[in-house]
Structures are given as C-alpha cells and as structure tokens.
Structure 1
Amino acid sequence: MLLKLFAMWLNSEVKKLIGKKRKAFKKYKSEGTVAAFNEYKHYNKCCKTAIRKAKIENEERIAAEAKTNPKKFFKYINSKKMQVEGVAPLSYNNNMVTADTEKADVLNQFFSSVYTVEEPVGQVSPNSFTVASAPTTQWLAQDMVLKGLHTINVNKAPGPDGIHPRVLRELGAELQWPLFLIFSDSLSSGMVPSDWKKANVTPIFKKGIRSQPGNYRPVSLTSVVGKLFEGLLRDHIQNYVVENGIMSSNQHGFMKDRSCQTNLIAFYDEVSKKLDSGDAVDIIYLDFAKAFDTVPHKRLLSKLRSIGLSEVVCTWIENWLQDRVQRVVVNGTFSTWSKVLSGVPQGSVLGPLLFNLFINDLGEGIMSNVSVFADDTKLCRPVNSIQDVTSLQQDLDQLAIWAAKWQMRFNVDKCKVMHLGCKNMQAPYNLNGTALGKSIMEKDLGVLVDNKLGCSKQCQAAAARANKVLSCIKRGIDSREEGVILPLYRALVRPHLEYAVQFWSPVLKRDIIELERVQRRATKLVKGMESLGYEERLAKLGLFTLEKRRLRGDMITMYKYIRGSYNNLSNVLFTSRSFQRTRGHPLRLEEGRFHLNIRKGFFTVRAVKLWNSLPESVVLADTLYSFKKGLDGFLASEGIHGYGR
C-alpha cells in the first residue's frame, strides 16, 4: 500500500520557507522578471539549507535516543519507504480477507481460539509447595507511587483509556496522591477498574506465510495507570518470593540478576563438562503451546495461595484476571471486543512473575538437569547406557503428567532432542506417545547451539543481523558525523555482536575476524575516517576491538559471579583455590582441566586464568564501576587485547 511520506525532520522553519518558495515561484511564473527569478532562487537556496540542517538535527536526536528508544530510528527509516508492510490479506475460510476491519476480526478470532477452558480444580497438594507466612498487606506507600510515576517510559504508547505516559510522568507530583488513593482502594476492596482490564492488541508478523493468521504474534497495550500499580504489586510479591526462597533456582526468566546468558552458561557448563569427561549427552528442548495465553486462572490462584500470598493480594489478582477483554488494531481500525478466558495478560507487568510462579514446580521430581527461562524449558543428562535413556524418558513422562494436571500443552512438533558425543546411542524419545524429532542445531534463547557446541554458525548469524542494521544506517541516515553514526552503531549494531557473547565467544580466528569485520565497516562510515587504518580509527573514536571488549566482558561477568549480583550462582560454576598470601589475590579460583577444545573455550574455563592474574586491588573493588576502572588500567598497562595475546 502506497502511503504519503511523513518527514520527521519537517519543522516550522522549513514549512515557512517552503511556503515562501512556492509563493516566489508563482510570482516568477506570472511576472517573468529577473527580480522575481532571483527572489525564487534565494528562497530555493534557503529551503535546501534549512532542510539539510533540519535533517541533521533530527538524525542527531534519533542517535541520542537510539539506546532508550530504538523504535524512533526504525520509524525514521520506514518513513523513507514508499511501501509499508503491515498485516497482509489473510486467508480465512478459503477466502482472502483484505479490509482492515475484517482482518482485525479474523486475527482477534484466532488469538481468542487458543484460550483454555478450565476443568474443575482439586485441592492442591500441600507437599508441592513451600508455604511461608503471609506477608503484611500494609506495604503500599505514597512515595512508591511517585517513584513509579518518575520512571514511566514516555516513549510507550497509551492503552485503550488513552492516557499518555508523558502526562503521568510530567504531572507526577500532582497525581501521586489521587493515584495512591485509587490504588489503595482497589487493593483493599479487591476490585480492579474495568479500564485496566482492556487491551488493544497489535498483530506482529513472526515468520512464514503472511496470509496465515497463525504467523502473527499478539502484542497487548493496556492502561499505563494499571501497569503502574502492577509494577508496585510485582515488586512486593517478588520481594516476598526472594525472602522466602520460593522460586526455583532453575528459573532464569524475568528474575533479578538472572538473564538469558546466566541460563545458557549454567546449563551448558554442565553439558560441556560431561562431554569433556567422555560422556554422551542428550538434550531435550521443550516448547509449550501458547504458554502465556493458556494458563488456567483457578489453578494459578491455587498455587499463589499455597505459597502464602495474602488473601488481599490473591483476591485482587483474581479480580484482575476476570472479565478481561481485548480488541485487535489494524491500521487504526478496531475489531469487536472479545473475552479473554485464560492466560496471564501478555504486555502486562505482573504477568511474567505470575507465569513463573505457575510453572515453579515444573522440575519437581525430575532427576535430569532442568533449566527454565520463562516457558523455554530444556533438560539434559549423560546417556551412557539404556538405563540412562530410560531415566530421561521417565523424566519426560513426568513432565507430561505435570502438563496434563495443570492444563498446559506441549507443542510436540517443536520439541526436539539433540544428541551430543561421539559415542551417543541416538536413542529415540517420545512425549505423550509422539516421537520427538531429532535436531543437530537449535536456537536456544536467541543463540544457535549445535551438537558440537561450536559457535561458528552463531557468529555468522550475529554478523548477518548486525550488517543488516548497519546497512539500514548507511542507506537511511544522511549524516556521516561521528555524533550520529557512533551512537547508532553502539545502540543498534554492536548489541547483535555481543548478545550473550560470554556464552558463545568465538575461539576460531575466522570467527573472530568475521565479527570484527562489522566494526571495521561501521567505523569507516564516519566522516574523515575513510582513509585511516583500523587501529587509528578505533583510537580516534574511543573504541576497543570487539575481541578486547569480549575479554573485558569476561572479566566483568566474572566479577558479577564472584563479587557481584550473580554471586548466588557461582558455587556451582567455580571452585575457590586455597589462598597463599605470597601468590595472587584471595579470590583465586581453581583452573579447570580439560581434554576437548569446546571445554577449553567455555566461559567458566577460559576466563579463570586471566581472573587469577588480576591485581588484588582490582578484584577486591567495592563496586562494579570501580572494578571496570581498575580493569581497564590493568589491561592497558599489560597490553592485553585478547586471549593468547
């Protein structure tokens, strides 16, 4: 669909000059005098200068906000395209639906079709949960509301109630008291305003055929005021969960000081150890079907009550889940409202924590190594005998029983088994009687993992994604100033090269070169850098090589494990070395032995030697900031730019 371009750089000064230029042109056409022509030339030149200036200023603003508001950059790039891709004509009942209203209704009908019709729930077994003392209900305070208002992201869109987040943030001082009263009354009465239960759903294309409704993902926009209170309640519940040790240590999703990277390192550290010791290993990747949308409400509430949440909080959550409605939005056109029968609301603030609590007992009774990130679940174990295979199959059967009890469904077609190790028996497994497909490579939390635990494919994929964004910058951004190109590179390109990179950091020279090539290309885009060598460009732009950044990132991550926010995960991954005052610092670790290169290059092995060589003054830094400062000084003084250099 052809759309009129909207110039984000078009300001009042440019508009005024365009008007004067048009007026001068009409005057020249009617009079035909030299004076009229010169006047037109003058305004035409002024217009070009003003437009050039406006574009540069706009691109500088985009670059400055790229880290906090990347959508603005892509909106600017898309505004230059004549063709804008939205929701394609949809296939429905053997017909193609083209009208926006009809497309919205078809998508809403599909999104609603996945809901779970809940069966009667029995009494929850008290042995399944750790029951703690109920927290006090007097936790909400006015200053918490003000703090929440000040942290609202003004770049987010408003919900169905139309209240813009910028209004709430800028009027925080005036709104804190009335909102505190509303929140307090809602909590004490257990009644949630109906506006907080409404959602505008935007369909986002995932992959596959655009005409299939199943290839669109729903993204919900709900009331910003409602989400503000959800955030306060989430923090309250989270504190209670942490203080009472309720959350499983296997869960890394939506948890403070946990991430995709901590999940990957913890899980594959065990896998690489087993492979290095000569074991065969089987990994099973599990996929829940529409996990967040199908959580049955009564079963969820029974679990929340069983862990000791106060009845006031549980009653509020119960009302919050009831009578929810949604409508799909396509090009500003709305579908009819439809009821939401199950699930934790996607796009909500409270939903992810509730989902974590719902599946918290997933790994109980499982003998294999289980790792969870929200609904992404995987398990592994050494398989050196038929008995090992039988044990892993029994764990799968146990998970199937859990899913049936709690009315969750596995998407068996997407559940895979990966066999690792040269002596692997390649045993078959089944889930609910359906054989699992075999895979030699899986995308695990956004990282490509193959059955050799190599990283070359991941390096290629990361470089391809980074180059794609870099090409957008090159084609779509007119300015080549350092103040524009460098922030865009740092915010939008480099993260693709460094996402969870401590897990998959390359060891082969060709992979290191492939990643570095992206930064070489990016630095050449900066005006005045085209003819300089790479090292000189880096020096002038204040950048490290990506190889040095990865090494530096290893040490920062080590600090987090040993001294910082990941400390509760370190005991499983590292072993302390007995301290000798004459040799090194008191936080030295045992350097793991290895037989295979995959173990040698794994984070928990490769990073230890350099960590042990750091000065005591660096590793004993009180803060992460102080550690980074001391680390940079040490690396510079020693001339260290990468492992083995």
Structure 2
Amino acid sequence: MSGDFNAHHIAFGCQSTKGRGQELFNLIDDLDLCILNDGRPTTINRPKQTASAIDVSFISGSLTPLCDWSVHDDTMGSYHYPTITEISLCIDKYHLNSPVDRFIYKKADWATYTALSKTMFNDFILQSHDPISTYNNFCFHLDTLKEMSIPKLTKTNTFISRPPSPWWNSICEQSVIASYNALKLYRKEPTIENYINYKRKDAQKKRTILEQKKIGWNNLCNTFNRNTHISKIWNLLKMFKGIRPKNKSYTNEFISPLLDKLSDNSNLIEVDQLNILFEINNHNPNSKFLLDPFSWSEFLTSLHSRRNTTPGLDDYPYIVIKNLDVSAQKLFLSILNLLWRNKSIPQSWKTQCVVPILKPDKSPELASSYRPISLSSCLGKIFENMVKVRLDWYVESKCFIPHIQYGFRRGRSSADSFTSLISDLKNAKHRKLNTVCVFLDVQSAFDSVDPGILVQIMSRLGVPGHLCKWIFNFLNNRTIYARHNNILYGPKCASKGTMQGATLSPLLYNIYTSEICKYVNNRNVNILQFADDIVFYSSNYNLEIAIDNMNKSLFQLLQYYNDRLHLKINPSKSSVMFFGNETSNTNIIYNNEIINRVTSKKFLGIILDPKLTFEEHIKYISKNAHTGLNVIRSLCGVTWGADPKILSILYKSIVRSHLDYSSLAYMNSSHVNKLDILQNKALRIISGAMCSTPIRAMEVETKVMPLILRRILLAERYCLKLIASNNTQIISKIVPYIDRTPRRSLTTAQGLLCSNSPTLSDILLEIDNSFF
C-alpha cells in the first residue's frame, strides 16, 4: 500500500514524530508490515524548511525483498514527488556473464599443492645481484603450482548461468547429483525399490539444501555489524531468494574523472632534493634495527594476521603462501630480505586495481558518487605489514605521534575520542563556561599526502634514510587501473597520496600530521584527531575570548597545513557549534571563508546537540534500527531464516550494534527509554510473542540482555580498560569534579528496578573504589 498519509514519523524519513505518524506506525507494527521508505523526502521543501516524507509505502514482510522503492525526480505539477515501487514477481533464472578465466581456490587440492612446493623449489637459485628477477622467477613457480593443483574456470565467450547462491556448496552439489542419479536409475528400471530410493534421495536433497541455507544465513549474520550497510543485507537476502540484485551503474563516463582524481601529481617535491635525506640516520643506534633483515617470527606473524581477501591484478591471494611448505615459505622470506637489502620494489606491489562502489542514493554519472576500493598485491602486503609493525613500534615508543591522535593506534579507539570530547564539554558546562567547537573537514586527506614532505618529516624523527627511500619509492610512480562491469580501464600514473587500502597508509598519515601540536600551540584551544577528522574546541566564561582564541588557532592551522603539508581544509563542509548559555554574532573564519554554524553535528557517528541531551542522536539510531527491524520482519516468512536463534543473531548484528556503539555517550540521557521500546518490539518479532507477553519473559526466551544492563556492562568494560591501560588522561577528564569517596553500589537490583541509569563517571568511581 502506498499513499499520502500526511503522517510524520522518523521511521518514514521525517525529522520528528507526530500523533498521526505514531498511529500509522503502530498500525504497521501491529500488522507486521515492512516500511519501504528509505528516508528520502517526498515533498518539495521551502527554504530553511525541514524535509518530510509523508508519502508512505509499506508491504508484507515476505514480499519486501522483491521490491525496489524510489522517488521520481519530477513532481509533474504536484507538491509531492511520485514514489515508485517495483515488484519483481518472477525470479531471473539466468543471466549473461562476461568471459572469465580464473582459478577456483575453493576447490584447490592443497595437500598436493603443499607436497609439490616442497620439491619444486629445491633447485631455486637466489640471484643476489638481481632481486627483481629472483622475485619474478618465484612468481613463475607459483603459477606452475597453481596450474597443477588448482582447477580453473575458463569461459572464452559470453555465457549464461544461474544467479549466484551464497549458500551453495559441495554438500548441496553432492545431494543434487545423488538425487539426479537415483531418478535416472528409476527411469531406466522403474521398480518399486528404485522409486523408493529416488524419493528418499530427493527428500534428503531438499533437507540438505534447507539446512545449508540456514547454516549459510547464520554464518552471514555473524559477519554483520554496525558498519554493514542495510542495502548490502537486502541484496544478500534477495540472493538467498534467488533474485539477482540490479546493477545500478551501467555507465562508464565517471571512470576517467575518477582515475584523474586518484592520479593528481601536482605540487610535488623534486626527487633530487631528497637524495641527501636518504643517507641520514642509517647508522643511528636508536633506529638501526629498522633496517635489519626480517626474522622468521616476523614473517609468520605478518602472514597469519592477514585475512583471505581479494588479491590484486597479480592474482596471488594469501592462501597460496599460507599453504606452501615451510621450506618454500623460508625461501620466500629470503627473497623478501633480498629485496629489502637492495631497496627494490616489484612493480606489481605498486599496481592497484580500483573497484568503484556506488554510494547509497547517489547519482551513478558522477565520479564523486563512488567509493574507490583498491585491490593490491597480497604478496606485497605481507612485506608491507612487517615494515609497518617495526615503524609503528618505533614512533609509538618514542612518543612521536601526539596524544591528541586517536585513530589507527594500538590501545586507542573512537570511544576514547568522543568520550574525551563529551567529558570536556560536560565539565565546561558544569563550570558554567561557554564552549565553541569547530569540526574541520580535510579535503582528500590520504590522497593529498606528498611523499617528499612525508620522508622529510620521517627523517626529522630519526627514521633511517634507507627506510625513507623505500617508502618514497613505494609511493612514487604507482600504476592505477579501474575495473567496472568486468572491464579494466587505465593505466594511470600516480605519485601523490598514500596507496588506497595499503597497510602502511594510516600510519604514514599519522606521521605526516604528527607535528600539529608544534605549530598549533594555543594553550586555550584543545585539539582532537581521529585519522583525518579534526575537532578544535575552546572554553571560557567570555564567549568572545573563546572565539578569538579559536580564530588564532585556525590561522596557525592554515599556515601549517597550506605551507608545510599542502593539505586543504574545506570550509564549506566544516561547521561550528556553540555549547553554553551565550550566543555571539562573531564569525569563525578559515582562509578568509566563514565556517557555517550548525545546531547539531555528527562526530564519529554521534550526533551532538548544544545541550548534550542526545535527543537527535537517539532519533538517528532509532531510525537506523527500524530499517534493521524490516529485515527481521521479512525473514519471519522464510523457512531458512525464521529460526529465533538466527533472528536473535541478526538483531544483535544490525540493530543492537547501533545502540551499543555510542551508549557511553548517551547512557544517562532522559530519552534513552525510547530505545528500550525499540528492543521490546524486536523481541516480539523474534519470538512471535503476543503484545501481552511480559518483557522479562521474552528477554529470557531470546537470551537478550535488558538494555540498561547492557549499557552498564559496556561502560564497566570500558572503565576496566582505562584502568588496566593506566589511561590517566581520559580518566582525569571523566571524573574531575566527583568526590572520590566510597559510595553504595549503583548497580543493585533496587537501583535497576527503579530505572536508575548511572553515569560513566559513577561507574568508573565504583570500579576504582572496589579495587583501591
């Protein structure tokens, strides 16, 4: 059903919930229907008017995976945009495929592969004078091993096949073959024994396929998390039902602009200016170990830490190295050390294949609508990870990365970053201070790193020149291809930025921006970094003084970023928020541009508001959770997905994970009860319980913890982590104004029955007092 109900609810895509919207939502919920709206507005908005989605479409859960919902871009003279719902009632049994020629690693005979590798490399000769040829010769032997042990799928012409089934495996294949053979035998000899045998095999086939669907969906549910986009889950659900997801991008016009963007080589330092740096610090006793040959333990640690991901264009996944005989693996380590000693880098390690992924609700014609996913050599990543571990230990042990950087560092997380920010904001509010907070957007941060400037910074940190030279050569003169619809475009040459998806890239960016505290040194302004997300904030009784301090720090940042790092801040995408009772008309300026003021801002997945009530954030996660509930409702109508255990796993993966992520921030909000109601609805869907069923009984039946206990559990785990790691910096921010005296336990049964939700500082003090 679809129509203009003139009803506002956050689950439809509106900014707020009103009476009629709540009544319609309750009716949809009582009938176990799924909402098709994806949040896009369906009406024309006046300037400065919030968007609304009062045209609602909903359908029964079993039909939801068959539907594609969209909003037309032409109103056709109306105040509303037409909504279009496409229902695929017939399943596409076949589709066309492009020619393929690839190895089927799932059907490889790894026992034979390992045995052959033990003898194949016996006569292998290491050419110390030509490490690249030695490496290429090793790859040739790997190709021979693959040809002898791994079956190959080769289709030279366009061919027809069924849509892929994620749950299909060899067990299903064997049961289908057995059923088919029994049928052939019965047709050849139609006896009662053969007929019974056929019916038995056919029933066994159906049971096997149903069981494998359940197992396959269960395994998939365990891989979902808060970052799994709901559209991906819908596509997988459609594939389980035999429906092939539509390709939303048939054009290739965006490929050339995308490759040009990734291969921008402007304003780079000349190589001749860096040669002197490559001879510095090579004999420094504090960093000389960075140049030592890699040990067998380092190699094994790097190899086994790698997950089986898609390989680059050289087509050597990690599994081909993991299944080599130990002698062949040691030979490979010797070749890597030979390359390391000569500072040689195979070109295949510097070759990337970019796969563009269309972002949700974006135009397929624009290059900016795609997220580039890079595939590079797995053999190179093994070596790159060993270099990264050494370099990471060196810069962390010497405290070269500033304490304000929380991204991509061992023992630090996004929770530390937003907890630090929110604690400072609450402490300022407690002291009646006014705070100005600036959220800065670094434009193409990782793609704008200048390798020449990077090695200059590394040299100042005492990194040996030979390692600086290796990293410079690793980033310089890279080759980039793009693959779209099974067609390879390119190549393009890139010498700017870090490699997309490379293991070293996050660490190199942290080193690149490690001197920020040296050049932006206003003591009245605090800085927080999480990778390329930067927050400046300043508190003062007088808001004008805080704004003046902020403008001075932003000017220092402008000089540091523009003149020294060649990084750009995009003022149009940056924003300013004020926390406190005062307001001001004074502008916050960066590079002669006024930064926009906002009343709410998302930082690391948390929506902040000036009063820190987290009302907007709870609405946001409730909206995301409602889309997850639609998936659970649709699964209740299929035999392989309606198991309460599977539904419970799915709920924890795609619904509760949203509630868990930011619970440290909003756990004491007055609006938190809205999330409890949402979990109760999910439990009724999972268990099939009636509306009158007690909530505690459903929690026991589904083995799902009450949210108030869940929030306390997560907070206690986080506090224990802070105490165990002796993170005094964040601990001092959480509890600076709380009296450190023993108190009664906050998590007693009486307290929970009265719905007393403690703060993070209360929990930290309770744990601290119990230990000390």
Structure 1 length-normalised TM:
0.80
Structure 2 residue aligned with 1:212:
366
Helix, strand or coil at the partner of 1:335: strand
Q: Distance in 1 between matches of 2:601 and 2:297?
A: 46
Q: CA deviation at 1:62?
A: 2.9
Helix, strand or coil at the partner of 1:239: helix
Q: CA deviation at 1:166?
A: 2.6
Q: Distance in 2 between matches of 1:73 and 1:153?
A: 21
- Amino acid of the structure 1 residue aligned with 2:263: S
- Alpha carbons of structure 1 residues 69 and 400: separation in structure 2 relative to 1, 3 Å: closer
Q: Which residues in structure 2 correspond to 1:188-207 (within 5 Å)?
A: 188-207=341-360
Q: Distance in 1 between matches of 2:424 and 2:222?
A: 42
Residues 282, 419 of structure 1: 8 Å contact kept:
yes
Residues 455, 505 of structure 1: 8 Å contact kept:
no
Helix, strand or coil at the partner of 1:336: strand
Aligned counterpart in structure 2 of residue 52 of structure 1, from 199, 210, 216: 210
Q: Distance in 2 between matches of 1:283 and 1:236?
A: 36
Helix, strand or coil at the partner of 2:534: strand
Identity percentage of aligned residues: 20
Structure 2 residue aligned with 1:77:
237
Residues 352, 479 of structure 2: 8 Å contact kept:
yes
Helix, strand or coil at the partner of 1:88: coil
Aligned: 1:313 with 2:471: no
Q: Distance in 1 between matches of 2:183 and 2:295?
A: 64
Helix, strand or coil at the partner of 2:314: coil
Q: CA deviation at 1:22?
A: 7.8
Residues 448, 457 of structure 1: 8 Å contact kept:
yes
Aligned counterpart in structure 2 of residue 112 of structure 1, from 263, 288, 298: 263
Report Cα offsets for 1:120-163 as digits up to 9, x if no partner. 6989xx9xxxx994342226211111122222212x21122111
Aligned counterpart in structure 1 of residue 521 of structure 2, from 352, 363, 366: 366
Residues 145, 176 of structure 1: 8 Å contact kept:
no
Q: CA deviation at 1:548?
A: 0.9
Report Cα offsets for 1:334-378 as digits up to 9, x if no partner. 111111120111201101000011011123333111111111111
Report Cα offsets for 1:445-492 as digits up to 9, x if no partner. 111112222212111222222332343244256333344233333333
More displaced 10-residue stretch of structure 1: 317-326 or 420-429 = 420-429
Q: CA deviation at 1:561?
A: 1.8
More displaced 10-residue stretch of structure 1: 102-111 or 225-234 = 102-111
Q: CA deviation at 1:527?
A: 5.4
More displaced 10-residue stretch of structure 1: 6-15 or 32-41 = 32-41
Residues 326, 338 of structure 1: 8 Å contact kept:
yes
Q: Which residues in structure 2 correspond to 1:128-207 (within 5 Å)?
A: 133-136=286-289, 137-138=291-292, 140-154=294-308, 156-171=309-324, 173-207=326-360
Q: CA deviation at 1:394?
A: 1.3
- Amino acid of the structure 2 residue aligned with 1:183: L
Residues 719, 763 of structure 2: 8 Å contact kept:
no
Q: Distance in 2 between matches of 1:243 and 1:178?
A: 32
Structure 1 residue aligned with 2:390:
236
Q: CA deviation at 1:396?
A: 1.0
Structure 2 residue aligned with 1:496:
658
Residues 384, 503 of structure 2: 8 Å contact kept:
yes
Aligned counterpart in structure 2 of residue 260 of structure 1, from 411, 414, 417: 414
Q: CA deviation at 1:584?
A: 7.2
Q: Distance in 1 between matches of 2:494 and 2:248?
A: 22
Helix, strand or coil at the partner of 1:412: coil
Q: Distance in 1 between matches of 2:432 and 2:320?
A: 61
Aligned: 1:5 with 2:167: no
Structure 2 residue aligned with 1:533:
694
Helix, strand or coil at the partner of 1:363: helix
Aligned: 1:472 with 2:631: yes
Q: Which residues in structure 2 correspond to 1:91-490 (within 5 Å)?
A: 98=251, 100=252, 103-113=254-264, 115-118=265-268, 133-136=286-289, 137-138=291-292, 140-154=294-308, 156-171=309-324, 173-207=326-360, 208-364=362-518, 365-367=520-522, 368-382=525-539, 384-405=542-563, 406-476=565-635, 478-490=640-652
- Alpha carbons of structure 1 residues 64 and 201: separation in structure 2 relative to 1, 3 Å: same
Aligned: 1:553 with 2:714: yes
Helix, strand or coil at the partner of 1:327: strand
Helix, strand or coil at the partner of 1:245: coil
Aligned alpha-carbon RMSD (Å): 3.8
More displaced 10-residue stretch of structure 1: 564-573 or 420-429 = 564-573
Q: CA deviation at 1:25?
A: 9.2
Q: CA deviation at 1:608?
A: 3.2
Helix, strand or coil at the partner of 1:209: coil
Residues 117, 342 of structure 1: 8 Å contact kept:
no
Residues 435, 543 of structure 2: 8 Å contact kept:
no
Q: CA deviation at 1:401?
A: 0.9
Q: Distance in 2 between matches of 1:195 and 1:447?
A: 40
Q: Distance in 1 between matches of 2:236 and 2:215?
A: 13
Aligned: 1:619 with 2:771: yes
Aligned counterpart in structure 2 of residue 88 of structure 1, from 230, 235, 249: 249
Structure 2 residue aligned with 1:522:
682
Aligned counterpart in structure 1 of residue 667 of structure 2, from 494, 505, 508: 505
- Amino acid of the structure 2 residue aligned with 1:402: Y
Residues 282, 417 of structure 1: 8 Å contact kept:
yes
Q: Distance in 2 between matches of 1:164 and 1:330?
A: 21
Q: Distance in 2 between matches of 1:465 and 1:174?
A: 51
Q: Distance in 2 between matches of 1:385 and 1:610?
A: 33
Residues 279, 382 of structure 1: 8 Å contact kept:
yes
More displaced 10-residue stretch of structure 1: 305-314 or 24-33 = 24-33
- Amino acid of the structure 2 residue aligned with 1:444: F
Q: CA deviation at 1:35?
A: 12
Q: Distance in 1 between matches of 2:244 and 2:306?
A: 33
Helix, strand or coil at the partner of 2:538: strand
- Alpha carbons of structure 1 residues 287 and 577: separation in structure 2 relative to 1, 3 Å: closer
Structure 2 residue aligned with 1:636:
none
- Alpha carbons of structure 1 residues 163 and 45: separation in structure 2 relative to 1, 3 Å: same
- Alpha carbons of structure 1 residues 528 and 425: separation in structure 2 relative to 1, 3 Å: closer
Q: CA deviation at 1:30?
A: 13
Residues 584, 615 of structure 1: 8 Å contact kept:
no
Structure 2 residues without counterparts, runs of 5 or longer: 1-87, 96-161, 278-283, 746-756
Structure 2 length-normalised TM:
0.67
More displaced 10-residue stretch of structure 1: 370-379 or 359-368 = 359-368
- Amino acid of the structure 2 residue aligned with 1:455: F
Q: Distance in 1 between matches of 2:286 and 2:192?
A: 90
Q: CA deviation at 1:214?
A: 1.1
Q: Which residues in structure 2 correspond to 1:12-23 (within 5 Å)?
A: 12=170, 14-15=172-173
Structure 1 residues without counterparts, runs of 5 or longer: 90-97, 589-602, 621-645
- Amino acid of the structure 1 residue aligned with 2:552: Q
Residues 190, 312 of structure 1: 8 Å contact kept:
yes
Helix, strand or coil at the partner of 1:395: helix
Q: Distance in 1 between matches of 2:174 and 2:733?
A: 67
Residues 406, 416 of structure 2: 8 Å contact kept:
yes
Residues 252, 262 of structure 1: 8 Å contact kept:
yes
